[in-house]
């Protein structure tokens, strides 16, 4: 009598398969994002080293935000000039200028002269930043047939970059979770998981290196997977709900669709930058240093009526930095924001109240800085760099183990056929 072999579900075997095939199918994309991200960690520092002229600051009396704005607008009268930023006392003013292909204009605060103009992407480090954040797929827009529901379209994303990076972030999280379970041998044998055997086969040595490197990098890889998923739908609301539940914090959502009151208003009715600065100083926490100022440029020729409507309804958010600023080492510091009506000067929102709760503060202000390493100086970011390269070594050891096992199986099959 023929009997079929009974099926036995073995969780560890299935985890190994999930871990393996996640690596083989999407491992290359994951390597591109993690390796490019490791280099992009030093985006600002390397850009300053390669292009020192843009960051020139002459000592002495400095010009104001309003004066810097006037200088840039005079140089580019037909293009929109966005908020004027000064990241630190020893930094120049800079502002994004233009419609689609934006450029950054740098102004020496000591002389009032333009240091130079730089394309936002046509730089050595801009290449790695764009590779990491969009894989050069950001311009590929996705179109959907009418039968696909709106919620599913939102989940998929607007561009091919959104879709691919969502999958990469999810894959990293799956690999971290499955790798952690596969690594853990039980409390009694936990010391065994840190043992590097110098004797034995090539496979054993590759296995031990893979196991130890994987566990060492586990906290950072888990952090990157979690924070990367938090950038996208549908993961963001799930992560937010879980985080607020774990930290016992209450969700305090920021008001949406804030607009300036435009009835009977023209560019002449905009508040001045001096008045904007007065309001910001009053509303930001005492002792804050203002990072950016700027009013929407309404005296230019817009591309279309919609672009003009958006500019006229736009609010102004002034950012200030004080104390432990998670964005301190980026080009855009400032953890406290005040949103203001561009005509009346009315304060529409302040994020200070939402940051008073620990759980909310960490989620709103620290997730991205920890992901990008901008919460710490460049020398401390070397730790992020080292852990960011570990997936490359994990891929090498993992592929070598796979090839060794595959060769052994082929050899075993060949012998069985001969017999």
As a whole number of angstroms, the distance between CA 86 and CA 343 comes to 24
- Strands, E, within 140-236: which ranges? none
Domain coordinates in residue numbering, the chain: 11-41+130-249+379-418, 52-122, 253-352
What average pLDDT does the segment 145-161 reach?
87
Higher per-residue confidence, 408 vs 141:
141
| pLDDT tens-digit map of 376-407 | 999 999 999 999 998 888 888 888 888 888 88
Q: Which tens digit of pLDDT belongs to each residue from 22-53?
A: 777 777 888 888 888 888 899 888 888 888 89
Confidence check: pLDDT of 181 > 90: no
Q: How far apart are the first and last CA of the chain?
A: 26
CA distance 287 to 50: 34
Q: If you search the block for the tokens 């046509």, which residue do you land on?
A: 122
Query: Looking at the DSSP assignment, which residues form a beta bridge with residue 95?
Result: 105
Instruction: Sort 54 into a burial class: Cβ within 10 Å, 0-12 / 13-18 / 19+.
Output: buried
pLDDT at position 93? 93
Average pLDDT over residues 269-290: 90
**Confidence (pLDDT) at 101:** 62
d(CA 64, CA 109): 8
pLDDT at 112: 92
In sequence order, what are the residues at sequence separation of 6 or more whose Cβ sits closer than 8 angstroms to the Cβ of residue 279?
271, 318, 338, 340, 345, 347
The reported pLDDT for the residue numbered 128 is 82
Phi-psi region of 317 (alpha: psi -120 to 50; beta: other; left: phi over 0): beta
pLDDT of 393 reads: 87
Assigned token pair, 68 = 């810097």
Q: Are 178 and 189 in contact (CB under 8 A)?
A: no
Q: Which CATH class is domain 52-122?
A: alpha beta
pLDDT the model gives residue 368: 93
Question: CA–CA separation, 360 vs 244, rounded Å?
Answer: 7
Compare 235 and 197 and report the one with higher pLDDT.
235
Write the pLDDT tens digit of every residue in 286-345.
999 999 888 777 777 777 788 888 888 889 899 999 988 999 898 888 999 999 999 988
DSSP β-ladder status, 84-85 and 315-321 = unpaired
| Helical segments of 284-380, H only | 305-313, 358-361, 367-372
pLDDT of residue 71: 93
Pair 372, 230: CB distance under 8 Å? no
Tokens 């736009």 — which residue? 314
Q: Listing from the earlier edge strand, what are the strands of the sheet with 114-119?
A: 114-119, 103-107, 93-97, 84-85, 292-293
Question: Token pair for residue 216?
Answer: 């060492």
290: its two tokens: 């203002």
Could you give the CA distance from residue 334 to residue 289 in angstroms, rounded to a whole number? 8
- Burial code (b: 16+ CB inside 10 Å, e: under 16) for 21-48 equals ebbeebbebbbebbbbbbbbbbbbebbe
365 pLDDT more than 60: yes
171 to 129, 168, 205, 346: CA distances (angstroms): 21, 5, 26, 45
Residues in the chain: 419
Residue 220, helix vs strand vs coil: helix
Q: Is the peptide bond before 69 cis (omega within 30 degrees of 0)?
A: no
The whole-model pTM stands at: 0.82
Distance CA 184, CA 186 (A): 6
- C-beta of residue 55 within 8 angstroms of C-beta of residue 46: no
């Amino acid at each position: 009598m023929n009997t079929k072999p009974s099926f036995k579900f073995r969780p560890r075997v299935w985890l190994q398969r999930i871990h393996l095939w996640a690596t083989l199918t999407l491992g290359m994309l994951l390597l591109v994002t993690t390796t490019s991200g490791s280099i992009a960690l030093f985006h600002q520092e390397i850009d300053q080293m390669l292009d020192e002229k843009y960051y020139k600051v002459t000592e002495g009396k400095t010009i104001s935000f309003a004066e810097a704005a006037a200088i840039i607008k005079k140089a580019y009268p037909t293009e929109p000039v966005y908020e004027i930023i000064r990241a630190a006392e020893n930094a120049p003013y800079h502002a994004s200028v233009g419609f689609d292909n934006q450029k950054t204009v740098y102004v020496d605060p000591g002389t009032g002269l333009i240091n130079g103009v730089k394309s936002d992407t046509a730089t050595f480090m801009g290449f790695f930043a764009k590779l990491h954040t969009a894989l050069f797929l950001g311009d590929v827009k996705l179109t959907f047939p009418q039968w696909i529901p709106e919620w599913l379209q939102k989940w998929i994303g607007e561009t091919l970059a959104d879709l691919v990076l969502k999958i990469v972030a999810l894959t990293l999280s799956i690999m971290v979770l499955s790798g952690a379970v596969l690594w853990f041998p039980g409390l009694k044998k936990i010391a065994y998981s840190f043992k590097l055997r110098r004797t034995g086969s090539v496979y054993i040595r590759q296995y031990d290196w893979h196991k130890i490197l994987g566990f060492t990098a586990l906290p950072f890889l888990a952090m990157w997977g979690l924070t990367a998923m938090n950038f996208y739908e549908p993961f963001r609301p799930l992560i937010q709900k879980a985080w607020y539940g774990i930290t016992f914090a209450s969700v305090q959502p920021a008001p949406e669709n804030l607009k300036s009151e435009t009835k009977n208003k023209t560019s002449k009715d905009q508040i001045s930058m001096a008045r904007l600065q007065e309001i910001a100083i009053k509303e930001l926490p005492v002792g804050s240093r203002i990072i950016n100022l700027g009013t929407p440029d309404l005296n230019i020729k817009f591309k279309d009526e919609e672009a003009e409507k958006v500019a006229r309804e736009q609010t102004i958010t002034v950012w200030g930095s004080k104390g432990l600023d998670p964005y301190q080492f980026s080009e855009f510091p400032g953890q406290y924001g005040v949103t203001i009506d561009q005509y009346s000067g009315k304060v529409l929102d302040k994020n200070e109240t939402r940051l008073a709760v620990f759980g909310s503060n960490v989620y709103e202000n620290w997730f991205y800085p920890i992901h990008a390493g901008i919460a710490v100086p460049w020398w401390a970011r070397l730790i992020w760099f080292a852990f960011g390269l570990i997936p490359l070594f994990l891929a090498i050891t993992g592929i070598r183990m796979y090839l060794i096992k595959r060769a052994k199986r082929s050899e075993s099959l060949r012998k069985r056929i001969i017999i």
